[in-house]
A and B are shown apart, each in its own frame.
Chain A
Amino acid sequence: MKKFTVGIVVALLAVSLVLGGCTSSQNNANNGNNASTGPKYKIGLVFDIGGRGDQSFNDSAYQGLVQIAKDYKGYIKDDPDKVNYGTEVELKYLEPKEGGQDREQLLRTLAEDGYNLIFGIGFMFTDPMINVAKDFPDTKFAIVDGTIDGLTSTSNIVCLNFKANESSFLVGAIAGYMTKTNKIGYVGGMQSPLIETFEAGYKAGAMYVNPKLRTSGNLLSQYIGTTGDAFKDPAKGKEIASSFYNQGADIVYHASGASGAGVFQATYEAYQAGKDVWAIGVDSDQGLIYNSSTDSQEKAIGGRILTSALKRVDISVYDTAKDFMNGNWQGGIRNFGLKENGVGYAVNDYNKSLLESVTPKIEELQQKIINGEIVVPASNAELANFQLP
């Protein structure tokens, strides 16, 4: 016990020494900050665990920040890539290490540091954001993919959600036009209302453009499971996709997270076995990601990805920041569909020529959805009442 008391005393002494020694340097740092004129707006963003480099959600959000910096003469503070187009807007991102109080702590730190608009990427920010937003009524908050009840347009929180059924409709239409066997498939992750919106949109799009797909049995669909594990089960994804190809389908769309790797694998193997089959990716431009890989096997798989249904987190971040800086802040729930450019389908250097023949028709459909001529169903129940031409 004596050892510890001595230890504590010394520890306190050491800390106080260090503290004393550092106040001077700290003051200097502060003076340095004050000397330069401050930015007009300060926008903060907290990633979800995983952070930059996930080639999905978080990276897309980061792209949104880069775009803001470009268009509004801003810079990303402390960024390793040194994004810097001016000093009008300061952008800063943080990343939590753990759960617990960490997310709230980071949101709060940004709010205390005078950031005017703060993003939280992912539904895990729901409760922390409610808590912090209450304490900082003059700061605006935005959560990607979260749903918070009881918000109004004057709230200081906005929830950014995506109309996945609309992007699924377009890739469904692409599949409907491009199928040669007049049979296509859909692999869902965890069976849930959320993932059902992908299915309903995809089927509606396919049926809309291709009358042969309206007969039952030509639209194959199956879910991997009923638990969260369904999003990380590539083996099951592969199994389902293979069985679709054996039944004569030639295009398979997946909305199954990491299980999609198995769908792509199955597509590639069926292709090697002499079938002319394609896969459609989800959320990010998976074709581009696979094609840009240095691994030759992945590159080859990338060659069989027709397109992807996109979820543009970057657009949602950019648009929210733009509206805020233009003085058009609106709280509540904001849905990003085709109209807002918040969802879409992927066209890249690799699939451009493939899609050339259908692109005008897809653009036309997209216009119709934007005009409200086509109302894309968001569930299988709505799909049953969907008006086909």
Chain B
Amino acid sequence: MIDEKKQKVNSRERWYRLLEGISPVLGFLFAMVVMMIVVWFIGESPSNALGAIISFSFSQAGIAYIISQSVPIIISGAANAVAFQGGLFNIGVEGQYLFGALCAGVAGAYLNLPTPIHILVVVLAGMAGGMLWALIPILLKVYKGVHEVIGTIMMNQIASAVVLYLVNGPFNGVRGQALSYNLRTPYLKPTAVFPSLHKIVNSITGIFGFKFPNYVAVDFSWVIAIVVVIGLWFLIFKSSLGLRIRWVGQNPSASVYAGVDIKKTLFTTMMISGAIAGLVGLQEVAYISKFFTPNITKGLGFTGLAVALLARNNPIGVVFAGLLFSFLTRAGYGLQMYTKVPNSLINAISGIMILSVVVFDQILRRYVRTLRRKEVGQNV
């Protein structure tokens, strides 16, 4: 009798877990439906739009681009996720990666070091830049109680101004060139440029008949992303520091009684988040353009917020959420290229898709939670 009941509960629990697991996928499908309705309103045939997205995104080059362009998004998502785990809202990833990228660019352009060490120094410089930019807001929070959202937003503004000043001033790489419009630092020394991993990666994916084209960035930043994701997963779920971070994030007052130094933990969390954030721009600086410019891709920090939200702050989940967001960008270009959806609406469409994914996912999870509560009530 009891066994039977237990079994019933187990099967039900499995069903809940399945529902929770697929909720992002259902959210994604829902988003696609929303997208097609919008497209239909514009006067383009939804099947045409879907065909365009799929043929453009799931071609060999399309998949390669999606994976490659997800690298900065994944790193940014990880930076946001660790902050969220520790109960911090680090909206300053944007400024942290901008400054980190500048530091990396400067370290790569001005230092003279042998290859492996130089690359390591570039990576460390990026991390240091990100940490430096996270330092002031967290000190303000820990010692003066200034909310980190205010502190980090302020630092975002300062970052764009400081970066512009530094690239115009001491680190200008285009002064004296008559007709160069692009404000940038000098080119990185060849010793600092990230090595390409095409050969290694293609020798593995070649087994499945897939090759990354040489124009898609397959570089050392992939290794960075993988190390960040796996390292963060171990840190959060398998280390005592991770346990403290999660305690503070879930219930600060209870963790005081458990003997956790809240200030220290908050500080450490923010430093980890800042260090990861400093790595976001490295693919662009150290591999794609090989210099730092204030015109570097913007907004990755904010994309990372949505990625972390969708991944429920799980580092492994961040990978899939990052791939999804990268896919949305590529899908947007597919729409631009092969349908008559106006460009101005495509940004709105990907915004709507992001929103639908996140909202649908949240609704479904809440629904499962209510079901669980009901069940508990019944059993009692």
Contact = CB atoms under 8 A, between A and B. Distances in A.
Interface string B132-163: 00000000000000000000000000000100
Main secondary structure of the interface of B (DSSP, over half): helix
Interface in B153-177: 161, 164-165, 168-169
Nearest to B71: A100
Contacts of A77: 340
A332 to B, nearest CB: 14
B342 to A, nearest CB: 5
B258 interface: no
B47 A101 contact: no
A88 B297 CA distance: 37
B180 A22 contact: no
A383 B84 CA distance: 60
B288 A4 contact: no
Interface stretch (B4-12, B117-125, B330-338, B370-378): B330-338
B22 A6 contact: yes
Interface stretch (A65-73, A103-111, A273-281, A336-344): A103-111
A14 B29 contact: yes
Interface residues of A, number: 58
A227 B178 contact: no
B215 A6 contact: no
Interface residues of B, number: 64
A210 B273 CA distance: 64
B21 interface: yes
A56 interface: no
B333 A227 contact: no
Given A2-B17, A19-B58, A227-B164, A105 B72 contact: no
Given A6-B21, A193-B179, A94 B216 contact: no
Contact of B65 (A3, A11, A78, A105): A105
A22 B50 CA distance: 8
A236 to B, nearest CB: 15
Interface string B279-321: 0000110001100001111110000000000000010110010
Contact of A194 (B28, B56, B178): B178
B195 interface: no
Contact of B284 (A100, A131, A147): A100
A106 B330 CA distance: 10
A228 B336 CA distance: 31
A283 to B, nearest CB: 13
Contacts of A114: none
A95 interface: yes
Contacts of A25: 47-48, 50-51
B320 A98 contact: no
Interface pairs A-B: 4 shortest CB-CB: A26-B51, A78-B340, A99-B297, A3-B21
19 contacts: A6-B18, A10-B22, A11-B22, A22-B47, A22-B51, A26-B55, A29-B48, A77-B340, A78-B340, A80-B340, A97-B332, A98-B298, A100-B72, A101-B216, A102-B329, A105-B65, A146-B181, A194-B179, A227-B169
